[in-house]
Amino acid sequence: MSLIAAPLLLLWPGAIVLALLDGRRRGPGALAVAILAAVFVLLAVLLAAVVARGPQELVAGGWAPDVGIRLRVDALGAVFAVLSCGVLLASLLQAVITGIHARATPSLTLFMALGLTGLFLTGDIFSFYVFFELAMICAYALTAAGGGDRRVRAAFTFAVVNLLGSFLFLIGIGALYRATGTLEMAAVAQQAATIDPNTGLLIAVTFFVAFGIKLGLFPFHFWLPSVYLAVAPHVAAMFAGALANIGTYGLLRFGGAILPAELELSSAALIAIGALSIAYGALQAIARRDTREVLAYSSIGHAGYVLIALGIGGPVGIGAAVIFSIANALNKTLLFLGSELRGRLAATAFLVGVLSVAGVPPTAGFFGKAALFDAGIDAGSITTVTLLFVGGALSFVYLFQIYQHDRWRPRAEREREMPTGAASPGQRGVALAVAAIVVLLGLWPEPLLAIGEQAAQEITATTPGRAEP
Amino acid sequence: MAIAIGWSAGGGGFGVAWAPTWDLRLAFELDGLAALYGVLAAGIGTLVFLYASAYVPRHLAHQERSRREEARLHGAMVLFLVSMLGLVMAQDLIALFVFWDLTAVASWLLVGYDRHNRDARLSALMALLVTAVSAVLMLVGILMLRAEYGTVQLPELFAVAQESTTVTVAVALIAIAALAKSAQVPFHFWLPRAMAAPTPVSAYLHSAAMVAAGVFLLSRIHPLIQLDARLLDGLIVIGLTSMAVGGLLALGSRGLKRILAYSTISQYGYVVTMLGIGGAAGAAGACFYVLGHALAKSALFMTAGAVTEATGAKALGEVGGLARRMPLLAAGSGAAAAGIAALPLTIGFFKDELFFKAALDRGNVLGALAVLGAALTFAYMARFWTGIFLGAPKGELRPVERRLIWPVALLGALVVVGGLVVGPFADLARDAAVVTQRGAVELEAAYHLDARAENLMAIGAYALGFALFASGRLLGAPLSVFSRLGHDLGPERAYNASIRGLNRLSNRLHDIEVRDLRGRLIAVVVPGAGLVALGVAVTPTDGAYRTGALPAADVPLVVALAVCALAALAVPFCRRHLLIALALSGVGFALATTYSLMGAPDVALVAVLIETIFALLFVGVFALLPRDVLRREARLRAPRSRKLRDAAIATASGVVTSLVVWSAFSRPVPREGMSDRLSALAPEAHGKDIVTVILADFRGLDTLVEITVVAVAMIAVSLLLRGKLRG
């Protein structure tokens, strides 16, 4: 299927050409946006094909599947690819409208899109890793883009902590290859049933730590607030809305699809860590008085929700994780993009984001929250439901506290902290467009719920008849 | 109006699929219950909109705000009205929840309308947190019902639901949300605070709509509540408590709007009690009560607003003798107050008659409590109205628009009309009760000039109420003790304490957050090691770690690895930078040697190249760094405790990493012969050896991406080298 190759073939040359141009100018910026928009459309077509006809495949170089690299797209991969690309598109558009200060930003964004698209579309563990590295290195560079001591320092921390995570991931991949003799995800999943539980679990733990770092899960999150605070809002939106999807997707793919027995075995630990993450993120967020700091900490809490859904497992739990993650990525994009925009329309867009994170309808976030509760109830776990409730209550406190602090206080009280004037129509437009999507998915949730269900079924069906460990 | 016409035309409804995956439907039906609450929301809403069109410009002018802000209030009111109408007609619990939460959001925007005012902001936050967080419980309850019966359609649920613990818990959770919305004890504290809202908002939300939504929901799901008698009893307890607490606080308060807010708490306590009593009498009484109360209470709120606008007074004692100066307002609000106090010739009389009748059905104790509650109501209503309109005139009178007066008069007239021609009102309430009760309901409202129990109870309530009112001075002290007690021990204090406590805890946590790189790495390594250790602990390790044999041919390999390990161990003991670099490259070269011993000369060659480059790079960088910086850094000494800690962490992480690898290597080699197959394919890929074809062809995509990674790294580095990634 050339549908799989097309987005990569468009991004690759595009990013290289842009690397040679000065991205601060209008032209290259517009070109980058146009390329991303085209890729977004291609990925949407791919998603439609996956929804209609099931998973799509392509072996690079036309070799036999166990010789060459197999690209394989199922609903989970396709939806994350569309989502991430859309987030990058919105963020870059916002950056171009606002004005780009670093010449490499458009090119780096496209390279990041390439890395993310590649890792969501591949069916091969090692090629997942290399695409993942590509996305990450772009993220480090984007953190430092724009200059300043604070950003370079944040980029350094970001790179060092995450390279440690990548290194752990690589050890895990090596060990998994040694244990199963293959790098192809579907084949590994079949072989994994025969792995000794000890080996399997230890490998699963290294993957967990690696993706936990990407996702910003407590206690692996310490890099996250400094990075999200140091970068420009559009870069923070890229990280929270697109890059963090690696963590979610990785946990779902490696935990849910490749090592399901290990996932099941660690269910209690996942829920415990998820609970810690939720509590920690929320508690940190409550007294913060900088919107972006609140958002950074709330991301840590939201990583915990994904983990809880994974811990619940099964089609319902995994479906909830997918639905929640999609909503969460959209919310974070909207909030980061809107965090510094002023004016009534911008405030409305931002409010939509706040409501969605709180899980107040009619927003995508409401169905994310409902799906989580549904999974907890389906599993009959009072602890989980209580946890979700407490976490949700805390999120109400910090979200509306900061919203009122930021948007309701008289101008005289806040001018000192927030000198920005009203947003330009273009900036508002981007934020409003994302807000419209969030509301639309709240009013017509069927696509969201259906894709969650399909993704969960495909993932859980790849490993039929697995014996209990 | 359209709702009334629609309902009299037989109601109707529609349903379309919404989200088939979850089996959700956008199903709405204009049944009796929806008609009652819909008429209230739309009818009173219309009057309030008229009132607000005069009130809000004045309100903004007082605060020197722009007229443009008026739109914000009307926008939120319309949002509220629409959500309220959706709420009352929804037949799908999820759809119902959507509108439920929207009313909370609209109310938040409205209570916080005076956003420059800190008190208004805090009140808005409180109203939102109490109603929206409790709403999450409702969502949980709905999803529990869905998990149990596979549907959230109310008609289907009513048909299949049976008594069970799950259903009881689910319904209880929904009921909590409803009680919080109707400001019932112990969630009542948000309502008096919500009086920070502009008066039209209170006249609408806090009399006829927002707080009514709670009892509406209880009525809507009443068939489910009826499944468990404990739920009904719980409602009675909460209803009576709210009735008493609200009544006492109303009697002890001075603020005009505050008295009305407490009165609302108390009045919805009546309704909740009747819903708890259940049966035909309870259902009919509850529905009628809501109708009678809403008309009168919104008139009273508008009165309070008009009085404040005309005199500037906000509390009893700051105003008096207005009856002569504002006769129409006095008459309208007099009728409304009489309605709340349940005097004859008002619609309120019947609401209490029905209440007494329902209470008596459940025994004399409840009947006695009902009389006490009614007496309290009479007393505070008398105090409220006489305090404003009788006595010596006080203060100056400013002219106010007529639009602030005649909605009150109109509602007052309706209250009296309802007392004279109760038929249409009774029909509306009866049709609503039919839905609640899912069966025929008799609602008989008429004057009986005889000594039946209800009449005697009413007379008793007036007498007792008048006694309470007359002894107002005497009651002052105990009432203020009661309200102080409530303030010191009540739920509002708990709310404030928890918000403050959470913020304090948050600050404390933030202070101990890790901020240096070393700490951030430790926070990854240590928990990671802990998790691996946990993994080892919970899985069977029997046979998981094999040592295998050591053939003589492998001895050089072991030696090379030992050199590698020694070099690595030497690194932390080196102080000078050059030595550290040399030791590190020693590790690399030793590894390169092991590759060559394992039959991978090409890999070894690459490793040697890389190590050489890095060694030179380090040396080059050191040559460029200022000498004194290097010297100073080399002299730095870490405290002993930290050295020990770091050593322990390093050892632990080394050990667990080894365990991961060791465990994997203890497995038999899978898929033997794969390398032969790849080698056989090498000519097809136009390559001579397996490594080349893998890198350049079979897995060429990986190589390409890796090259891209290097390119991106170079872009980043080149930008960094230009000074500051600015290009």
Question: Over the stretch B579-592, which tens digit does the pLDDT of each residue have?
Answer: 999 999 999 999 99
The string of DSSP codes covering B288-353 is: HHHHHHHHHHHHHHHHHHHHHHHH---BTTS---HHHHSHHHHHHHHHHHHHHTT-TTSHHHHHHH
Question: Over the stretch B459-506, which tens digit does the pLDDT of each residue have?
Answer: 999 999 999 888 877 787 888 888 888 887 888 899 999 999 999 999
Question: Cβ contact (<8 Å) for A283 and B506?
Answer: yes
Interval A8-33 mean pLDDT? 91
Does residue B674 lie within any of the structural domains? no
Domain count for chain B: 3
Chain A residues inside the 8 Å CB shell of B541? 198
Q: Do residues B296 and B250 share a domain? A: yes
- CB of A141 closer than 8 Å to CB of A229: no
Q: 20-39 in B: which are within 8 Å (CB) of A? A: 20-22, 24
Q: Do residues B638 and B714 share a domain? A: no
Minimal C-alpha gap between B404 and chain A (Å) = 29
Question: Over the stretch B538-582, which tens digit does the pLDDT of each residue have?
Answer: 888 877 788 888 888 888 889 999 999 999 999 888 888 889 999
Q: Which of B470, B498, B527 is the last residue of a domain?
A: B470
Q: How confident is the model at residue B69 (pLDDT cuts 50, 70, 90)?
A: confident
Q: Do residues B236 and B323 share a domain? A: yes
pTM for the complete prediction?
Answer: 0.93
- CB of A318 closer than 8 Å to CB of A459: yes
Question: Cβ contact (<8 Å) for B719 and A102?
Answer: yes
Question: Over the stretch B424-451, which tens digit does the pLDDT of each residue have?
Answer: 899 999 999 998 888 888 877 788 877 7
Does residue B225 lie within any of the structural domains? yes
Question: Cβ contact (<8 Å) for B528 and A168?
Answer: yes
- CB of B725 closer than 8 Å to CB of A235: no
Classified as helix, coil or strand, A385 is helix
Q: Between β-strands A70-73 and A56-59, what pairing exists: parallel, antiparallel or unpaired?
A: antiparallel
> For position A205, what pLDDT does the model report?
93
Q: Do residues B292 and B439 share a domain? A: yes
Question: Over the stretch A107-122, which tens digit does the pLDDT of each residue have?
Answer: 999 999 999 999 999 9
Q: Mutual orientation of helices B210-220 and B165-181 as an angle, nearest 10°?
A: 160
Does residue B36 lie within any of the structural domains? yes
> For position A420, what pLDDT does the model report?
58
Q: Do residues B91 and B29 share a domain? A: yes
Does residue B328 lie within any of the structural domains? yes
Minimal C-alpha gap between A334 and chain B (Å) = 19
> Using CA atoms, how far apart are residues A195 and A357, in angstroms rounded to an integer?
40
ipTM of the complex: 0.93
Does residue B710 lie within any of the structural domains? yes
Question: Over the stretch A283-294, which tens digit does the pLDDT of each residue have?
Answer: 999 999 889 999
Q: Which domain holds residue B719?
A: 684-726
> For position B727, what pLDDT does the model report?
39
Q: From A412, which residue of chain B is nearest by alpha-carbon distance?
A: B116
Does residue B499 lie within any of the structural domains? no
> Using CA atoms, how far apart are residues B410 and B434, in angstroms rounded to an integer?
29
Q: How confident is the model at residue A415 (pLDDT cuts 50, 70, 90)?
A: low
Does residue B635 lie within any of the structural domains? yes
Question: Cβ contact (<8 Å) for B116 and A410?
Answer: yes
| Lowest pLDDT segment from A54-58, A209-213, B480-484 | B480-484
Q: From A59, which residue of chain B is nearest by alpha-carbon distance?
A: B698
**Average pLDDT value for chain B:** 89
> For position A127, what pLDDT does the model report?
93
Q: 123-142 in B: which are within 8 Å (CB) of A? A: 124-125, 128-129, 132-133, 136-137, 139-140
Question: Cβ contact (<8 Å) for A408 and B94?
Answer: no
Question: Over the stretch B27-36, which tens digit does the pLDDT of each residue have?
Answer: 999 999 999 9
Domain residue ranges in chain A = 266-463
Q: Do residues B285 and B428 share a domain? A: yes
**Average pLDDT value for chain A:** 90
> Using CA atoms, how far apart are residues B44 and B691, in angstroms rounded to an integer?
82
Classified as helix, coil or strand, A91 is helix
Q: How confident is the model at residue B679 (pLDDT cuts 50, 70, 90)?
A: confident
Chain A residues inside the 8 Å CB shell of B504? 287
- Distance, CA of B617 to chain centre: 57
Q: Which of B450, B470, B490 is the last residue of a domain?
A: B470
> Using CA atoms, how far apart are residues B479 and B360, in angstroms rounded to an integer?
28
Q: For residue B1, is pLDDT > 70? A: no
Q: Which of B627, B661, B695 is the last residue of a domain?
A: B661
Chain A residues inside the 8 Å CB shell of B720? 144, 152
> For position B474, what pLDDT does the model report?
78
> For position B678, what pLDDT does the model report?
74
> Using CA atoms, how far apart are residues A399 and B228, in angstroms rounded to an integer?
37
C-alpha angle A247-B521-A321 in degrees, rounded to nearest 5: 20
Q: Do residues B426 and B317 share a domain? A: yes
